[in-house]
Amino acid sequence: MTAPMLRLLSLGAGVQSTVLALMACRGELPGLDGAIFADTGWEPQSVYAQVDRLEAELSAAGIPLYRVSKGNLRGDALDPEHRFVSVPYYTHSAAGEDGMARRQCTSEYKLVPINRKVRELLGAKAPTFRTVPKGRVAEQWIGFSTDEMHRVNDRRQNRYTLKRFPLLELGMSRKDCERWLKVLGWGHTVKSSCIGCPFHGNAHWRDMRDNHPDEWADACDFDRRIRKGNAGAAPIRGEAFLHRSRVPLELAPIDRVTRREHADLQLEIFDEFAEQGDLDGCSPYGCRSGQPISPSTERTAA
Ligand code: SF4
């Protein structure tokens, strides 16, 4: 097998990939040639601050950070001139069925620009950066921890990258990573995801509402504007929502309810997923939550 000529970190800027970046900076993981952050254009300020802070650390260690982008996910979803990009909205069809749209946004706004940058770094020629010279391969570090084994898929996605999972080799869980970061003064590392990602749990939405009112207003405004789906496609016959209750975000039941209240309301909103959201976050390399749930509510069938 061809030996990799580059080691690159896919930097989501969440807990696990932040650990990998800092370990590389400290020499605890050797030989990192660069980190790539895919910017959807709609991350919260805390994530951009985290990326800036990491960039300073990486730069001091002589490791370049590459920021890549396919565009602004929010703007594109609301732009009637923009080709349809499927975001995993919760849907309620005209026939009364609940479902969920496909998650294509992660691939389009993260995986595609990351791979393009990898090909460029491996010597693919401008302007398309499509073809990597034969025999050139990059080792790509992905920050899955031991509690995320279900996400690991080491099947090769192309001929120019070899996936590697350093946290699995180190036997580190997410909790281990959090402890490691805390000791280093990085205890407030946030989960990277778009402001209006439908996979936020109630805890995330509450925190946004209570502590980041501008981002909350942004998400509520977006939610109102996607009721008929993204602007660049035919309107769906049902309705789309950011919150799993399938009511407008500003009215959605995101406050904690007691088990008694829950029983009285007879709502399924007190489970772990509703409260915490997708703990795995948004990764282009292993989607637990990105599978289509109900094709009947997808745009083409709605
Ligand atoms: S964070 Fe959510 S909305 Fe953003 S790219 Fe990932 S799945 Fe899509």
CA distances from residue 248 to 185, 202, 225, 227 in whole angstroms, order as listed: 38, 14, 10, 9
Q: Report residue 233 as tokens.
A: 């496609």
Report which residue type is found at 292. Answer: P
Would you give per-residue pLDDT tens digits along the chain (302 residues)? 678 999 999 999 899 999 999 999 999 998 899 999 999 999 999 999 999 999 999 999 999 999 999 999 999 999 999 887 789 999 999 899 999 998 889 999 999 999 999 999 999 999 999 999 999 999 999 999 999 887 787 777 789 999 999 999 999 999 999 999 999 999 888 888 999 999 999 999 999 999 999 999 999 999 999 999 888 888 888 999 999 999 999 999 999 765 665 565 554 544 666 776 665 567 777 654 443 322 233 333 32
Cα 154 to ligand 1 centre (Å):
22
Q: 223 near 252, Cβ under 8 Å?
A: no
Q: Quick check: helix, strand or coil at residue 18? A: helix
Type and span of the H or E element at 162? strand 161-164
- The residue contributing the CA closest to ligand 1 atom 5 is 106
Q: Which residue, judged by its Cα, is nearest atom 3 of ligand 1?
A: 197
Which residue CA neighbors atom 1 of ligand 1 most closely? 193
Q: How far is the CA of 110 from the centre of ligand 1 (A)?
A: 9
Q: What is the whole-number distance in angstroms between the Cα of residue 168 and the centre of ligand 1?
A: 24
Distance 167 CA to ligand 1 centre (A): 23
CA dihedral 15, 217, 267, 281 (to 10 degrees): -20
CATH class label, 6-256:
alpha beta
| CA separation, residue 60 to residues 25, 55, 212, 271 (Å) | 8, 8, 31, 43
Ligand 1 atom at shortest distance from the alpha carbon of 282: 6
Kindly give the distance from the C-alpha atom of residue 194 to the centroid of ligand 1, in angstroms, as a whole number. 5
So what's the pLDDT on residue 291?
38
Give residue limits of the domains in the chain.
6-256
pLDDT at position 300 is: 33
In this structure, the residue with its CA closest to atom 2 of ligand 1 is 197
Pocket probe mutation, ligand 1, options 86, 87, 285, 287, max atoms within 8 Å of Cβ: 87
Q: Which residues line ligand 1 (CB under 6 A)?
A: 40, 73, 87-88, 103, 105-106, 109, 193-194, 197, 199, 282
Instruction: Tell how far the Cα of 119 is from the centroid of ligand 1, in angstroms.
Output: 23
Span from the CA of 283 to the centroid of ligand 1 (angstroms): 9
Report the nearest atom of ligand 1 relative to the CA of 110.
Answer: 5
As beta bridge partners, residue 82 has none
